[in-house]
Amino acid sequence: MGESKRDVAVVGTGMAGLVTAYLLHHDPQQRFRVHLLDKSPRVSLSAESIAIPSTHPVSKKSAWADIPMRAFAGGYYHNLLRMYDHLGIHYRPQPFVFSFSRRSAHQSHAVVPYMVHASNFHQTPPIPRGDLVRWIWEAIYVLFFYWWFVLCCFFVRPLVFGDMEGESFDHYVRRIHLPLYYVDSYLLPMMSSVCTCSHVELRRFPASDIIAYKRLIHQQPHFVVPDGVYTVQEKLLRGLDVRLGVETIEVLPTSHGVQLTLRDATRVCTQLFDLVILAVSPDVAAAIFRAARPSLRDVPTTTVQTVAHTDFSTVVARLQDGVTMPPDSCSPQMICFCSNGLTTEAIHAQPNGILITTNPLMPIDPTTIIRSAVFTRVLRTPTSQRILREIFREDGSADTESQRDAFVDGSKRWRSGDDGVYLAGGWCWDGMVLLEGCVVSAMRVAADLDVEIPWI
């Protein structure tokens, strides 16, 4: 007789949860019976995305606006691209034009950009009608320090200190002598929008994260899935048992398996599984799984607001005439970075006059809001980087634990996979908290369970 199937609960329906469930469900040896659980009434990956009706005279196909933005760049997203190819997901290059502007605390009107340039310099930036000499000097300044930063990314490695914690991004940019003006006006607005965090939080990131990201995406094209991440979701979900509206309130390893305490609209119950994968944020994992709490409490998080709307009253002047382009167009799309010195608002101009604003600095007219969502964003610090390396056995101690890291608060340090419980998510790898991390962490779980990964 064949080996009986193992019951696996995957908690969370973001990209990491869906990819993990997909890999285990498609195990060639068919050893797993996978159950997807999520407290949300909708699958999380595309829960906030919206369909934009077409106004094109020929094409009547709606375009999808993913919330949050799901564009990705070649080079860094190696495994995501391979997975999309395996699933047959259509993606295409999407050039962008980046606009940089500043907003004071009391400035409620539209702002004028101080610099506009194309992603990967695929086109000549627009020449301003005003102070041309000042613009030329600004462009020379930006180009010089941009290439200085690029060279440093390739040739100046981030430091590692005696406690095995890496150098912070703030320490790195000071060490390579990047001017404060360039850092505050260009580097922090751009990268804080990628990481969706404040400038102070970005400065605390491990330098290795930012440097590796910039090095790998350098001169690589950006891509989008024109039909939205919903198409990815549908392919990953096919054939899976999905239970929405079910909240996991406790994870308890026992001698017979892993017991989940579940709550839905009508009752609280317990259910036993052979394996549990927590594809949730670290604060949620720490709240429901006691063994991981001592380590995960030092992994910082924040909240991010993203709004889809049509309020052009306070945005960058270049956008005030609206945006009208066919949904299947490969024309450059505008992303405006507007900073107040502490944080950066990113406004992505979608087809048909819709704006996606992340971290809005000014109130948005409620009558223009199509969708508003608040997400948990996992941050990075050198300390949390070291902790996560230990949890995922990336610290060189896979076989023998170091005496310093073997115990936390007098208890043996829990690591992913212990007691039949795994962690997965964009934060569950040694890199930027992006979709690539979701895929890599899911692949790690599958590899640990000896499951074939079809796209490698």
Do residues 167 and 181 make contact, with C-beta atoms less than 8 angstroms apart? Answer: no
Alpha-carbon separation of residue 237 from 26, 233, 373 (angstroms): 11, 6, 23
In our burial notation (b when 16+ CB lie closer than 10 A, e otherwise), range 222-256 reads bbbbbbbbbbbbeebbeebebeeebbbeebbbeee
> pLDDT tens for residues 122-135?
667 777 777 788 88
pLDDT of residue 3: 72
DSSP string computed for 206-224: BHHHHHHHHHHHTTPPEEE
Alpha-carbon separation of residue 404 from 26, 297, 302, 336 (angstroms): 40, 18, 29, 46
Torsion of CA 261, 268, 18, 226, to 10 degrees: -150
pLDDT of residue 370: 93
pLDDT of residue 162: 77
pLDDT of residue 405: 52
Q: Which residues make Cβ contacts (< 8 Å) with residue 264, sequence separation at least 6?
A: 245, 246, 247
- What is the block-wise mean pLDDT of the chain (456 residues), using blocks of 10 residues? 84 98 98 97 91 63 78 95 98 93 71 84 71 89 97 97 90 98 97 96 98 96 93 97 97 97 96 98 98 95 95 69 49 91 93 88 93 95 96 66 51 90 98 98 98 96
Do residues 85 and 455 make contact, with C-beta atoms less than 8 angstroms apart? Answer: yes
Do residues 422 and 415 make contact, with C-beta atoms less than 8 angstroms apart? Answer: no
Q: Where are the beta strands (DSSP E) in 39-188?
A: 50-52, 63-65, 72-73, 92-93, 96-102, 115-118
Distance CA 295, CA 241 (A): 31
Q: Which residues make Cβ contacts (< 8 Å) with residue 5, sequence separation at least 6?
A: 30, 31, 32, 33
pLDDT of residue 52: 73
Q: How many other C-beta atoms are found inside a 10 Å radius of the C-beta of residue 145?
A: 18
Q: Is 286 left (phi over 0), alpha (psi -120 to 50) or beta?
A: alpha
Q: What is the CATH number of domain 6-49+228-299+380-449?
A: 3.50.50.60
Q: How many other C-beta atoms are found inside a 10 Å radius of the C-beta of residue 298?
A: 15
User: Which DSSP symbol is given to 185?
Assistant: I
- Which tokens hold the place of 77? 């997203």
Q: Where are the beta strands (DSSP E) in 317-409?
A: 333-339, 344-349, 355-358, 369-378, 407-408
Query: Taking the domains of the chain in order of start, what are their residue ranges?
Result: 6-49+228-299+380-449
Task: Residue count of the chain, please give it.
Answer: 456
Reported pTM:
0.92
Helix (H) or strand (E) holding 33: strand 32-38
Number of helical H runs and strand E runs in the chain: 13, 22
Q: Measuring CA to CA, which residue among 295, 290, 294 is closest to residue 259?
A: 290
Distance CA 350, CA 348 (A): 6
